Amino acid sequence: MHHKMKTCGIALLCLALVSGALGCAWFGKQEEKTAAELAEEGNTYFQGESYSKAIKSYERLRDWYPYSPHAKTAELRIADAHYHLEEYEQALTAYQQYERLHPGDDKIPYVIYQSGMCHYERLKSIDRTQVPARNALEAFNRLQARFPNSAYAEKADPKIRQCRKRLAGHEFYVARFYFKSEHYKAALERFENVLEKYPDVAAYNQEAQNHARQCREFLAEMEKKNRGEDPALRPTESKESGPYRTTPVVPGQ
């Protein structure tokens, strides 16, 4: 009797294990979607602006079916979804990866433009460091150099102007800071940079010229004093030539 019960228990256990395995296999089969189904799912989420869910669907597609014709589109959609979520660093990485993997693709002008936009969307005020403006400008200039006839090259024009305006504004801001601190040599160098590097930015051109002229006048007066041509000024030490005088650090840099 005991032997029969033991045999029956073993049989039931085996049956349960087999049933469980079959059940898992069945459910696994049900959950595993084709590349086309994942693409459709991702597109549905993307069009509905559920970008985080879209990214998950596209990533599954990319990882499970890397050789599918849908995989390349999924890679680009992942970048676009991050961009719409304002996750610009992740979007930039995805765009750059797409460009590396598919350098001859017809969407590369769009990809380079979007790479520039990932920097452009993070532009800062002129009193802050302008790394985003420089990076955006580099991307837009590269786009126009490689694809001058692209619609995206034309679309980049106003963005380039805005980046140059920010860079000129920052240079002018630093120059003014030095000017107010009476560091005329450092100020003159910055004002001249505005005039030489950004002659197309009219917003700062005239003021930069005026301040540059004033800097030269102050520096000429200091040179006179240092040579002893003006005895009345001789005892006073120049701010530009003092032994411990250093150029101040600009706030926000």
pLDDT per residue rounded down to tens, the chain (253 residues):
444 444 444 444 444 443 444 344 333 434 689 999 999 999 999 999 999 999 999 999 999 999 999 999 999 999 999 999 999 999 999 999 999 999 999 999 999 999 999 999 999 999 999 999 999 999 999 999 999 999 999 999 999 999 999 999 999 999 999 999 999 999 999 999 999 999 999 999 999 999 999 999 999 998 888 887 555 544 444 444 443 345 676 766 6
Instruction: Give residue 9's pLDDT.
Output: 46
Angle (CA) 128-133-135 rounded to 5° is 125
**In this predicted model, what pLDDT tens digit does every residue of 143-179 receive, in sequence order?**
999 999 999 999 999 999 999 999 999 999 999 999 9
Q: Is residue 55 part of a domain?
A: yes
Question: How is residue 220 written in tokens?
Answer: 């000429």
Q: CB neighbours (10 Å) of residue 73?
A: 17
pTM of the shown model: 0.78
Domain boundaries, position 38: 33-86
Reduced 3-state DSSP string for 78-134: HHHHHHHCCCHHHHHHHHHHHHHHCCCCCCHHHHHHHHHHHHHCCCCCCCCCCHHHH
Instruction: Give residue 229's pLDDT.
Output: 59
- Sign of the alpha-carbon dihedral angle for 11, 14, 19, 22: negative
As a whole number of angstroms, the distance between CA 119 and CA 93 comes to 12
Q: Is residue 7 part of a domain?
A: no
Q: Is residue 53 part of a domain?
A: yes
Q: Is residue 72 part of a domain?
A: yes
Q: Is residue 94 part of a domain?
A: no
Q: Is residue 46 part of a domain?
A: yes
How many distinct structural domains can be found in the chain?
Answer: 1
